Each structure stands twice: as structure tokens, then as C-alpha cells.
Amino acid sequence: MNKAELSMAKKDEYSRHAEEYDIKAEKRETRFGVNYKWIALSNTTLGVLIATIDSSILIISLPAIFNGLGVNPLTPGNITLLLWLLVGYIITSSVTVVTIGRLSDMFGRVKLYNLGFLVFAICSTLLWISTYLVHGTEGVITLVVIRLFQGLGGAFLFANGTAILTDAFPHNERGKALGINQIAGVSGSLIGLVLGGILAAIDWHLVFLVSVPISVFGTLWAYFALHELATIKKNQKLDVLGNAAFAVGLTVILASLIYSLLPYGSSSAGWTDPWVIGGLAIGIFMLVAFAYIEKKSKDPMFRLELFKIPTFSLGNLSLFLSGMARGGLQFVLIIWLQGIWLPLHGVNFINTPFQAGIDMTPLILGFLVAGPLFGTLSDKYGSRLFSTLGMLIGVAGFIALLFLPVNFNFYVFAPIIFLLGIGQGMFAAPNTAAVMNSVPPETRGATAGMRSTLMNVSFMFSLVIFFSLLVLGVSTDLSGALYHGLVAQNVSSSVAVGISKLPPTTVLFAALLGYNPMESLLPQSVLSSLPATNRDAILGTSFFPTLISGPFVNGLHIVFYIGAVFAMIAAIASAVTRREKLGTGKGK
């Protein structure tokens, strides 16, 4: 038998297994109750929703948290802690989720999902308690460490939720189910922004308390209500060497990306830092080694031959690129709103985080409207049309943002970000359903884990690339703008020169956190010696955003151009994807 015949035989075997799998799922659903698939959907949706809310809930609430702990986040040493508090959760999830997906294929998806909910609930409780017990820098470090373990619990939920749904629903209903689940996941990261701002405005401790009762309830519900539908093959072994190579490689790369955001020497970013360069080189080498190990392993962590399936490979490529377009955009819009637009409209800096979350709601609504709708339609009409149109809408949204002035009209801004939400919602569910339907049933856990890794890694890459481009654009004119603006307010030339050397990264973090750095940058003796008019102007809501708005636009336009390019390539990848027969990788 030649290679073509072997390949065809393997695909026919995948198809047979997939059909048998759906028949077994329907029989087991009858055994556990006709509503079991909806129980699976509601519980896994709750799991992914709380996991993604916690991935972003700190972004807008960080000023209140640092103030509550008595720590200034903008001092050089604390900026590193700020970054780890923001992305440590995502790094842990990214590094472990594929391994967890593989383990779930070996030992049971529901068991590991339940374990994940339990870990998440314990860490949520510890986070809330620690805010009362530990303060100062030690308090921030404690939060960072617990958040790393909470990210592990989130990885269990991410890796198994999609696989449990794919097991519970027949293939002709998966688009609808995955649409609801995926939109809960994507919109959860946006809901976290608003929720964090609201809770921080009431009491910053509530930011950590909110997930405790939800995760405890979800843990108990999952334990008593979910049942294993997957057929677990016996005598499977874990590829320890491959898992280790993947974990080390991805960890080193993501950690290097974090430190690339910090200034190094005279450079505004850390790309020339030998530790960053060395870390990226080591990480890439380890991932190449991982691919080699997987090809030789009898029980690989992930079956690389799945990339020979066009729907699988192109679908995951478009997923990664769509994440690249979306992830950094979220941060850029928050910086734009908190650091410039809201202060220019008279909102006090202390209130900008909360208001920015409210102003981002059109983006959330777009996701909520489009996700379930087009997930359902993809069950009937296929995924390619909707996923392609979704990314093309994303391209149009990025181009539309290019034409907005820095001090835009909100009634023009809101429809544009709503359009971007529609595009991402139109893409997410059909793309997920197509990829999950294209793989053999016994690999769904590992496949779901890999897709979660791609989503998290794309978010990290997007954040680093967009933020670096923003820093590059801002750095061209920032020094001159700061100097001339301060001198115009009667600040002495010598003092203005010192402040004009402020790193662009610090300026952007101040904007992200809703801080006016002028109050801490200018010595109190200088402020007290200024005329009241000048002092009030410098400490007011419009001085700082007016100074940085010109340089900020330079970086903003670069970001939107790159985002449009990512979305366009994702659209092309979606458009050339063939429609697959269930579980075969065989186009028709």
C-alpha cells in the first residue's frame, strides 16, 4: 500500500471513529438525561467566562490595587511587578494548557476539568485573603505568585471545556454550542475590564472576592453534574521529554517578551538587552527540539501530523492572526481612552479607569451579538464564509480607526469598535467548530489545549508588538513635547530637560493606569514656586494628555496599520480553507 492509500485509509478511520463517537455521545446523553448537553454547555461556559474575566480584571483596577497595597507602580522596580501581575496568569495558562489537554485525553476530560475548577477556586480564595494580610511590595509579590497558580487552574478549564462540549454535542450542533462558549471566553476578557473598574471604584478587595463564590459554585456543580463521554484509550504514556522542551521553550520566550517592554540602557525598549536576546534564542531552540522530539515519540504530546489537515492548519493560523489583531488593540484603546481622550473631556485621572471600561462596552456587545448567531449559522452553511467575512470586517474597523482624530467624537468611535466586535464574534465560533470537527475525536483534548495556547500566545505577542510600535512612534517627538510644554508653564529649563528624558514606556504605563505623572515627576519645591495658574494647569486633566497626544498619534497609526495587515492575512487563511468532512481532514 502506497503513501496515498495509507493516508486515505487513515482518514476513513478518522471518519468512522468520529461517527461512532457521535453515536456514543447521543446514547450517553440519553443515559444522563436529554438536557445533559446543555448542562455541559452552561458549566463549561461559566468556567471559561470566570477564567477569562480573571485574566483581564486587573488591567483597569491596577491603580486601586497598588494604592491599596501602598505601592507606586511607576517606580522602575515596581514596573516589572506590574507586568508580571498583568501577564503571569496568561503565561502559566499558555505554557501548561497543551500538556493538560494531552493528559485529559489520557485520563479523562471531566476529571481534569473538575480539578482545574478546584485549583481556581482555592487560588481565588487565597488571593482575596492575602489582600488583607500582606501589603507593600511583599503584597504585590504574593499576588503575582498566587496568580501564577490560578493561571494553572484556568489552563485546566481552557484545555477541557471545548473538548467536553465537542464530546457532548453532535457535529451538526457544535457551531452553536462552541459559539456561545467561545464568545463567553472572548467577551469575558472585555467584561473583566468593566467589572474591574466598577469593583475597584467600590472597594479594591472586591476585585479578588468576586471570583470566589462563582468558582466554588462551579467546582461543586461540575463535580456532581458532568460525566465523562470520551472513550479513554488504555496504555497511553506521557511524553515527558517533549512536554519539558515545550514548557521551557515557551516560558523563556514569553518571559523574554515581558522584559523587552522595559527600557535598556539608552534604548526605549529592551530588545537589545542580552538577556532578552539570549532568552528568545534559547526558547526558539527548545521549541525546535520539541518538534523533533514529537516526531520520534511513540506517544507524542501533540500529533504534529494533524497540521497536514488543511482546515486544522489554516484554521489555527487564522486564529493566531486574529488574536494578534485583537489582543494588543485592547491595550491600545485603553491607553487612548484613559491617558488622553477621557482627561481631555474633563474626567479626573482617578476616574478614567472605570470610565474607560464603560466606553469599551460597544466592543463587548459586538461579540455578544455576533458569536452565538454566526456559530449557529455555521452549523448550517459552513464556517469559511463567516470566518472570512469576520476578519474582513476587522480590516475595515482598523482602517476606520485610522481616520479618527486623537480627540474623537464618541458617537463615531462607538460604532467602529462595535463593528470590530461583530467581526471577531463572526470569526470565533465558526473557526473553532471547523477546527474541532476536523480532528480525530481522541485528540480533541490536546487540540483544544493547543488552540488555547495559540490564543494566549497571540495575545502576548500582540501586546508586545503593538506596545513596542507605540513606544517607537511616541519616542520620536515625546522629549521635545515634554520640554516645550513644561517651559511654557514657567518650569525652568534645567528641570524641563530632566523630565523630557522620561522613557516612553513610563509615559505609556502612566496612561494605561490613569495616572498624571507630572505630580510625582516635578519636585514639590518646583511646584510650590510656580504661579497658581501654571501649577493648576500642570496638575489639571488636560496638560499631560495634550503633551503626549501628538507623539501618541504617530504610534497609534502604526499599530492600526499592522492590525489591519494581521486581520487581512487571517481572512485570506480562512478563505482558502476547504470545508472538511467530519474528523477526516479530507476536503470536499
Residue 578 binned pLDDT confidence (cut-offs 50, 70, 90): low
Closest CA to 501 of 260, 267, 336: 267
pLDDT at 414: 94
Residue (of 52, 47, 154, 178) closest to 100 by Cα position: 154
* pLDDT at residue 13, as a whole number: 47
pLDDT at 392: 94
Average pLDDT over every residue of 80-84 = 82
Helix, coil or strand: residue 392: helix
Q: Which of these, 503, 502, 508, lies nearest to 470 by C-alpha position?
A: 508
Distance, in Å, from the CA atom of 383 to the CA atom of 436, rounded to the nearest integer, reads 12
284: left (phi over 0), alpha (psi -120 to 50) or beta: alpha
CA torsion angle 342 345 346 349 (round to 10):
10
Mean pLDDT over 401-412 rounds to 92
Per-residue model confidence (pLDDT) at position 585: 44
pLDDT value, residue 6 = 46
Distance of CA 518 to the CA centre of its chain: 31
- Residue pair 110/160 in contact by the 8 Å Cβ criterion: yes
Question: What are the residues facing 580 on neighbouring strands?
Answer: 587
Q: What is the pLDDT of residue 52?
A: 85
Closest Cα partner for 570 from 354, 393, 368, 366? 393
User: Which three-class secondary structure state does DSSP give residue 587?
Assistant: strand
Q: Exposed (0-12), middle (13-18) or buried (19+): which is 498, by Cβ within 10 Å? A: middle
> Which is it for the CA torsion 403, 407, 411, 413, positive or negative?
positive
Place of cell 539608552: 266
* Higher pLDDT, residue 216 or 476: 216
β-partners of residue 587 are 580
Gap between the Cα atoms of 357 and 58, Å rounded: 12
Is the pLDDT assigned to residue 449 strictly greater than 70? no
Q: What would you report as the CA-atom Rg of the chain, rounded to the nearest whole angstrom?
A: 24
| Burial annotation 279-303 (CB, 10 A radius, 16+ → b, else e) | bbeebeebbebbeebbeebeebbbb
pLDDT in tens, 130-174: 999 988 889 999 999 999 999 999 888 887 887 788 778 776 776
Q: What would the pLDDT profile of 384-406 be if each residue is shown by its tens digit? A: 888 899 999 999 999 999 999 98
User: Would you tell me how many other CB atoms lie within 10 Å of the CB of residue 313?
Assistant: 17
Q: Is-above-0.85 flag for pTM?
A: no
CA distance 157 to 178: 14
Give mean pLDDT, residues 429-445. 73
Q: Which single residue is written with the C-alpha cell 456543580?
A: 221
Output the pLDDT for position 588: 39
Task: Give 197 or 69, the one with higher predicted confidence.
Answer: 69
What does each C-alpha distance from 531 to 211, 485, 536 come to in angstroms?
A: 49, 16, 9
Q: Please give the pLDDT value at position 496.
A: 85
pLDDT band at 4 (very low <50, low <70, confident <90, very high): low
pLDDT of residue 469: 78
Residue 34 banded pLDDT, cuts 50, 70, 90: low
Higher-pLDDT residue of 465 and 16 is: 465
CA 397 – CA 564 distance, rounded (Å): 8
Residue 383: CB partners within 8 Å, gap ≥ 6? 175, 430, 431, 433, 434, 577, 579
Residue scoring higher pLDDT (257 or 46): 46
**Which residue type sits at 516?**
N
Matching residue, cell 476539568: 113
pLDDT at residue 365 greater than cutoff 80: yes
Residue type at 280 in one-letter notation: L
Q: Is 80 exceeded by the pLDDT of residue 249?
A: yes
Q: What percent of the chain has pLDDT over 90?
A: 14
The number of beta carbons lying within 10 Å of the beta carbon of residue 304 is 13
Q: At what angle do helices 444-475 and 240-260 cross, to 10 degrees?
A: 20
